[in-house]
Amino acid sequence: MPAKDTFHDAVKNALEKDGWNIKADPLHLKWGKRDFYVDLAASRFYLADKGEQHIAVEIKSFTGDSAMSSLEQGLGQFLIYRSILKRKDPLRKLYLAVNQKTFRNVFQKDVGPLVIEDYDIALIVFNTQTEVIVEWKP
């Protein structure tokens, strides 16, 4: 099983504060003989719809030497997980969770907006200090 991301607990706490119930930590996916682990799976009940929303969350800290290398690696991982979820759990939407600094420095500059648009990346932007979600980018 892979190591937890630096901000794993902060994102988990932020989701719980936002009314989400953590269903898996991590969410195990299997495709063929390969095992994959998305950081979190959560659900939330909506009274208005009388239904549940299901999400999976991959957390990325972008703390490596190169933000672009981290983006390349994180994007590849995200797209693989989304492909598997589409076939195994099509009602669960995949999000990439990044902190506010990463969102500003990576996803709002350079190739970040292109990646979000072209690959339809759903983001959760969180505050590392307060452990709250500050923005959902569908």
Q: What percent of the chain lies above the pLDDT cut of 90?
A: 88
Specify if 94 maps to a domain: yes
- Segment 66-94 shows an average pLDDT of 96
Give the integer Cα–Cα distance in Å for 11 and 97: 7
Specify if 1 maps to a domain: no
Specify if 2 maps to a domain: no
How does strand 92-99 pair with strand 123-127? parallel
Q: Which of 111, 107, 85, 72 is nearest to 30 (CA)?
A: 85
Specify if 47 maps to a domain: yes
Give residue 101's pLDDT band: very low, low, confident or very high (50, 70, 90): very high
Domains in the chain: how many in total? 1
Give residue 45's pLDDT band: very low, low, confident or very high (50, 70, 90): confident
Centre a 10 Å sphere on the Cβ of residue 125 and count the other Cβ atoms it contains.
20
Give residue 51's pLDDT band: very low, low, confident or very high (50, 70, 90): confident
DSSP-derived secondary structure for 16-81:
HHTTPEEEESSEEEEETTEEEEESEEEEEEETTTTEEEEEEEEE----SS-HHHHHHHHHHHHHHH
- Segment 116-131 shows an average pLDDT of 98
Q: Which of 50, 53, 54 is nearest to 41 (CA)?
A: 54
- Taking 70 as the threshold, does the pLDDT of residue 63 lie above it? yes
pLDDT at site 33: 97
Specify if 56 maps to a domain: yes
Specify if 3 maps to a domain: no
Specify if 80 maps to a domain: yes
pLDDT at site 59: 97
Specify if 22 maps to a domain: yes
- Segment 119-129 shows an average pLDDT of 98
- Segment 71-76 shows an average pLDDT of 95
pLDDT at site 46: 78
Residue 63 belongs to domain spanning:
8-137
CATH code of the domain covering residue 79:
3.40.1350.10
